[in-house]
Amino acid sequence: MRVLRTCLFIAALLVWPFVSIYLAGQHLSMYVRIDAWATLGRVYQIWGFGTVAILAGWTLFHQKNTIPFIIGAMLVNVFCIIAFAADDFTTFVIATKAYMSGANPYIIAGQPMPFPPIILYVYAGLHSVALWTMQWAQLDMQPEGTDWCIVFFLTSVWQWAAVWGLALLTIQYSKLLKLPLWTAFIVIFASCPTWSVIRFDQPTATVTCCILGAILLADRYDWLKGIIAAMGTLLKVYPVVLIWPWILRRRWNAIGFFAVALVVVGLIEWQLYHGWLWLAEWHFITTDPSIRNGVVETWNNNTSGIATQLLMLAHANPLTLKISLWSIKAIILAWFVWRFFKRRKWSPDWLGDLTDALAVPLLLSPDMWEHSFMFAIPVWLYWLHLQLQRGKSAFWPLVVFVLIFALPVVQWFPWGYTRWIGVIIGMIVSEPGRWFKYCG
């Protein structure tokens, strides 16, 4: 009976967005609609009302723990109030339209598209679903753009589910680390990266769910770990770092299923779409200067950006700049290797190796925006756990929390690099061994 109720709850959450579109269509048929966003607003209202009611029913009759309901209901209201088409959604739409018309979405003037082709396949599929749903709901195509407003609504529903799921997974991870519940709440909700993900309609929450899901799954589900990590990697390459701790723990099944899942999906995409989009993306990544050299803008929180800004202030020539950037990255990699061998000496800890594997890309990635630091959630939780385990105060982890999560974005050098600085401090404080005696 419990399994049946859970299945009914999940089915209700899946079906209700489409019922919301139908009810909005029936209601709006009595009015003259002046713009597509008026339609979207009504759909959100109906969806939000029904979703909170479903969550409340599930909590009352099935789930004694009220925390999932509280988080889910709060996020529903957030999405219903602040939902609007973000810049990245507009980029996805423009690129998807180009792809659907047979053009190359990676060479659209003025609209860089540094995302894998699977994003375009998903949006094209959602557009087909939106057209079918509008026909079923008797919702006409006027005003222009109503179809893409429905696509935006469907992606928002998925984003709500991803952030909600991430919050629940973060709670489970904090329990694994024996941390108090408030740590999970603040790292999700007092967090600039979380609200940036919602604001820019980024898939980062989904990818972070894949990472935490792969970490929390029991070892007997290695096959599922590999598949989940592969699905996240298809959206953003970040989950590939999970291979390192899997190698250390000899989780060969997880690695095997990870590789098989990537190859299978890749072959399917190649067969269906002839692989040209992957080649177009590769050409974009290898030729676009903002990706190859690291974006210089202050709100792109990467090592290349901050080093470039500092060297430009020193009037360094291009060769010096390039040598310096590669030297800094080599030092960071050497630091990672040194930490690994030092951890082997003092106290081998696979969670420590995992955390380092997740932290180093935050410093090395050529494209780190504020929403990208949602990947730092499991990293910061482990740093806090390690500090408390050592009998130290939480002072430095809280400083790191403020730098990475709490501070809003300031697009003004050098204040745009607080997140990068926070990662550096966190790695210093979590240094393996006993030499760092003054960390709290």
* Average pLDDT over every residue of 13-39: 70
Whole-number average pLDDT of the chain: 81
> Would you give the distance in Å from CA 235 to the centre of its chain?
9
Considering the domain architecture, whether residues 83 and 105 belong to the same structural domain is answered as: yes
Q: What is the per-residue pLDDT for 94?
A: 85
pLDDT band at 162; cut points 50, 70, 90: very high
- 292 within a domain of the structure (yes/no): no
- 121 within a domain of the structure (yes/no): yes
Containing 348, the helix (H) or strand (E) segment is none
* Average pLDDT over every residue of 11-21: 86
- 365 within a domain of the structure (yes/no): yes
- 279 within a domain of the structure (yes/no): yes
User: pLDDT at residue 300 above 70?
Assistant: no
Please tell me the distance from the alpha carbon of residue 185 to that of residue 408, in angstroms, as a whole number: 17
Please tell me the distance from the alpha carbon of residue 95 to that of residue 362, in angstroms, as a whole number: 27
pLDDT band at 294; cut points 50, 70, 90: very low
The residue written with tokens 């967090």 in the block is 191
Considering the domain architecture, whether residues 282 and 412 belong to the same structural domain is answered as: no
294: left (phi over 0), alpha (psi -120 to 50) or beta: left
* Average pLDDT over every residue of 84-110: 77
Please tell me the distance from the alpha carbon of residue 417 to that of residue 207, in angstroms, as a whole number: 23
Please tell me the distance from the alpha carbon of residue 121 to that of residue 234, in angstroms, as a whole number: 12
**Domains identified in the chain, total number:** 3
User: pLDDT at residue 353 above 80?
Assistant: yes
Q: Which domain holds residue 114?
A: 2-205
> Would you give the distance in Å from CA 75 to the centre of its chain?
16
Q: Find out whether 405 and 191 touch, Cβ atoms under 8 Å.
A: yes
Considering the domain architecture, whether residues 374 and 399 belong to the same structural domain is answered as: yes
- 127 within a domain of the structure (yes/no): yes
Considering the domain architecture, whether residues 84 and 199 belong to the same structural domain is answered as: yes
* Average pLDDT over every residue of 10-16: 87
- The one-letter amino acid code at 323 reads I
Considering the domain architecture, whether residues 157 and 55 belong to the same structural domain is answered as: yes
Of 219, 228, 216, nearest to 175 by C-alpha is 216
- 436 within a domain of the structure (yes/no): no
Higher pLDDT, 276 or 163: 163
Considering the domain architecture, whether residues 225 and 364 belong to the same structural domain is answered as: no
Q: From 232, 257, 287, give the residue that closes a domain.
A: 287
Q: From 205, 227, 255, give the residue that closes a domain.
A: 205
**CA-CA-CA-CA torsion for 327, 305, 277, 151, nearest 10 degrees?**
150
pLDDT band at 296; cut points 50, 70, 90: very low
Please give the structure tokens belonging to residue 37. 């966003």
Considering the domain architecture, whether residues 108 and 227 belong to the same structural domain is answered as: no
Considering the domain architecture, whether residues 250 and 311 belong to the same structural domain is answered as: no
Considering the domain architecture, whether residues 57 and 137 belong to the same structural domain is answered as: yes
- 439 within a domain of the structure (yes/no): no
* Average pLDDT over every residue of 275-296: 61
**CA-CA-CA-CA torsion for 269, 273, 275, 280, nearest 10 degrees?**
-120
Helix (H, G, I), strand (E, B) or coil at 381: helix
Q: Find out whether 203 and 235 touch, Cβ atoms under 8 Å.
A: yes
pTM of the model: 0.87
- Residue 171's contacts (CB-CB under 8 Å, 6 or more residues apart) are 67, 181, 184
Q: What is the per-residue pLDDT for 176?
A: 92
Q: What is the per-residue pLDDT for 324?
A: 76
Task: Output the CA angle 15-20-23, nearest 5 degrees.
Answer: 125
Q: What is the per-residue pLDDT for 218?
A: 77
Considering the domain architecture, whether residues 386 and 349 belong to the same structural domain is answered as: yes
- Report which listed range, 32-41, 350-359, 378-387, is most confident: 378-387
- 270 within a domain of the structure (yes/no): yes
* Average pLDDT over every residue of 45-71: 82
Higher pLDDT, 220 or 163: 163
> Would you give the distance in Å from CA 222 to the centre of its chain?
22
- Report which listed range, 78-87, 144-153, 169-178, is most confident: 169-178
Q: Judging by beta carbons within 10 Å of its beta carbon (0-12, 13-18, 19+), is residue 138 exposed, middle or buried? A: exposed
Q: What is the per-residue pLDDT for 21?
A: 83
Q: End-to-end distance of the chain based on CA atoms, in angstroms?
A: 50
Considering the domain architecture, whether residues 281 and 365 belong to the same structural domain is answered as: no
Please tell me the distance from the alpha carbon of residue 245 to that of residue 225, in angstroms, as a whole number: 13
Of 206, 204, 224, nearest to 215 by C-alpha is 224
Q: Find out whether 244 and 353 touch, Cβ atoms under 8 Å.
A: yes
* Average pLDDT over every residue of 46-65: 82
User: pLDDT at residue 438 above 50?
Assistant: no
User: pLDDT at residue 376 above 80?
Assistant: yes
pLDDT band at 179; cut points 50, 70, 90: very high
Q: From 287, 309, 344, give the residue that closes a domain.
A: 287
Considering the domain architecture, whether residues 407 and 353 belong to the same structural domain is answered as: yes
Q: What is the per-residue pLDDT for 432?
A: 78
- Write out pLDDT tens, residues 234-277: 888 889 999 988 988 888 999 999 999 988 887 887 776 656 67
Q: What is the per-residue pLDDT for 174?
A: 94
Please give the structure tokens belonging to residue 329. 């990255």
